[in-house]
Amino acid sequence: MKYTPMQFIKVIIGLFIFAGGIVLTINANLGLAPWDIFHQGLAKTLGITMGSANILAAVFIVLLDVILGQNIGWATLMNMILFGAFIDLIMLNNLLPVASSFTAGVIFILLGLLVQGYGCYIYVSEGIGIGPRDGLMFVLTEKTGKSVRLIKSLIEIVAIIVGVILGGRFGIGTIILAIAGGPIFQFAFRTVNFDSSKVSHHFISDDLKLLNNR
């Protein structure tokens, strides 16, 4: 258990930056990313904020991850709580502007994706866990034997359908996010020489095993 305070500080910074990127795509007003459509629909249905809906969804997803056998790390739990809190902090205090035109909206989406890419790099590179939704994708991939691309697509389709039924907004921005997300994240990772597949994660279960052995 060789953790350092800086690891947790970097996770917090990374989550805050990632949340800022998410808010930029929301403020584009052109339609949301699949999970954000679900969060928005959930928020409208329950009369809560987007951040609170994000936290509520993350709690259930983490529980599902654990039931399915997916290992979680301390960063997973931090993501579960802090990510939604940061979204509310940014949105409720109007820390980022709202796009006033289609062109500005597209720029917000592309910039938001780039910011998310760097935020993801900062917190994932610490190797103490991944996001709840990514964990669900990986454990379902392992359980079904299907490709990550297929499982990711199916999960996001379900999130979109349920989100739209609940009142979430699907739009041209949703399509832009789906098309541009992968390439922009890859570009961000390349600029910092980051390969997420080479990160060796340390999970809470590893700590429990170590304590048990001692």
Residue 105 covered by a domain: yes
Residue 212 covered by a domain: no
The reported pLDDT for the residue numbered 1 is: 57
pLDDT tens for 44-78 read 999 999 999 999 999 999 999 999 999 999 999 99
Residue 14 covered by a domain: yes
The amino acid present at 74, given as its one-letter code, is W
Domain count, the chain: 1
Note the pTM of the prediction, 2 decimals: 0.93
pLDDT tens for 95-148 read 999 999 999 999 999 999 999 999 999 999 999 999 999 999 989 998 999 988
Neighbours of 114 (CB within 10 A): 18
Residue 141 covered by a domain: yes
102: CB partners within 8 A, 6+ apart: 30
Distances (CA, A) of 79 to 52, 101, 106, 108: 13, 32, 27, 23
Residue 52 covered by a domain: yes
pLDDT tens for 191-210 read 999 988 788 888 898 888 88
Kindly report the average pLDDT of the chain as a whole number. Answer: 94
For 204, counting Cβ atoms within 10 Å of its Cβ (0-12 exposed, 13-18 middle, 19+ buried), the class is middle
For residue 88, what pLDDT band results from cuts at 50, 70 and 90?
Answer: very high
For residue 213, what pLDDT band results from cuts at 50, 70 and 90?
Answer: confident
133: CB partners within 8 A, 6+ apart: 35, 58, 61, 155
Residue 206 covered by a domain: no
The reported pLDDT for the residue numbered 197 is: 78
CB 85 within 8 A of CB 51: yes
- Whole-number Å distance between alpha carbons of 45 and 193: 42
128: CB partners within 8 A, 6+ apart: 3, 7, 8, 11, 73, 74, 75, 201, 202
Q: Which domain holds residue 135?
A: 5-195
